Amino acid sequence: MPLKADITKRGAVLLGRYVACDGFDESRPLRVVTHAHSDHLLSLRQSLKQCELVVMTPPTKDLIEVLKGSAIFRNGNVITLKYEEPFLYDNELLTLCYADHILGAAQVLVEDVEGTRVLYTSDFRLPRTPAIETDILVIEATYGSPFRIRPFQEIVEDTLISLVEKGLKQGPVYMFSYYGKLQEVMQILHMANVDAPFIVPEKIFHLSKICEKYGMQIGELLPLSGDEEAQSMLSQHEPCVAFYHMSSRRHIEKDVFRIYVSGWEFRSPCRQINQNEYTVAFSGHSDFNGLLHYVSECEPKMVITDNHRVGDAFALAKEIQRRLGIPAMPLPPERNL
């Protein structure tokens, strides 16, 4: 079977003859953005200038407008597709399929005139991401090492809720994570009836409103900028939950109750770092066992593991071949650091 998928040194995932995902390639008229995380928005402005079409789901478009500014799509031909809405370009059929990662995340399926199906998972987690039967599978490898396993995944949400309630007895709880995951944590706490105001910086406030627009239940938010009540609650150390991007953790005072929500924790559902400082192992990615299970369910003839983005693509490819007997290789062969 001729190779109908590739990953370039610039991080573009190539599917079929026309599609480049999550990166720019000058030979491809179509660019697909699978979701609104920065490592999947590589060279987006260049794609908007030079590609015939840039494709994404409606929520992803709305989130990017908040993150990058509403003017970003002014000079590009952008179309949005709902999940399972087919789009025919020349003789290839493009379909965006649901992926459980952040709001709007999508798997990308391309089917050519010969009936060959090529699928790119982008980032995902089980069990809510559907496995799609395919001939060639391009899969993320974030937790591609056999040592990246979370046997305690089912109790992580309850652990998070209990830890937040413990912190609120002392005063404010400062929550650090990434866009999309922060909003998911808000929904978990809101649905668990955690009785405390949610305080957020301006960008997180607007991203959260997009998530509510598409059905997430987040609850009432107090914007930190221009809201005297929110600022007073933090300065007076009143019980509340303040949500910040992970990159802000160095700019927040140390002597507060801090929770880092990160998938890079495998020893336990909750690990104490210092007094009143914790990491909770909540992830938007499948662990190693989940990745293998997904490959098995798809029944591909060939697998390509993503070696451009953070992860362990070499180990995952090796284990797919050893355990499942399916040809697999990491691409690109060398990662640009």
CB 305 within 8 A of CB 327: no
- Tell me what pLDDT residue 184 has: 97
Each residue of 282-304: b (16+ CB within 10 Å) or e?
bbbbbbbbbbbebbeebebebbb
Rg for the chain, CA atoms, rounded: 21
- Write down the pLDDT at residue 2: 53
Q: Rounded to whole angstroms, how far apart are CA atoms 320 and 297?
A: 12
Task: Determine contact, residues 122/154, Cβ cutoff 8 Å.
Answer: no
Q: What string of pLDDT tens digits covers the 337 residues of the chain?
A: 457 999 999 999 999 999 999 999 999 999 999 999 999 999 999 999 999 999 999 999 999 999 999 899 998 899 999 999 999 999 999 999 999 999 999 999 999 999 999 999 999 999 999 999 999 999 999 999 999 999 999 999 999 999 999 999 999 999 999 999 999 999 999 999 999 999 999 999 999 999 999 999 999 999 988 768 888 888 898 999 999 999 998 888 888 999 999 999 999 999 999 999 999 999 999 999 999 999 999 999 999 999 999 999 999 999 999 999 999 999 999 865 5
CA distance 337 to 324: 30
User: Is the entire prediction scored with pTM above 0.75?
Assistant: yes
Answer yes or no: are the C-beta atoms of 143 and 263 closer than 8 Å.
yes
Distance CA 2, CA 70 (A): 41
Tell me the domains of the chain and their CATH numbers.
Answer: 5-147+285-331 (3.60.15.10), 153-280 (3.40.50.10890)
Q: H-helix or E-strand containing 291?
A: helix 288-298
Task: Report the distance separating Cα 65 and Cα 68, nearest Å.
Answer: 5
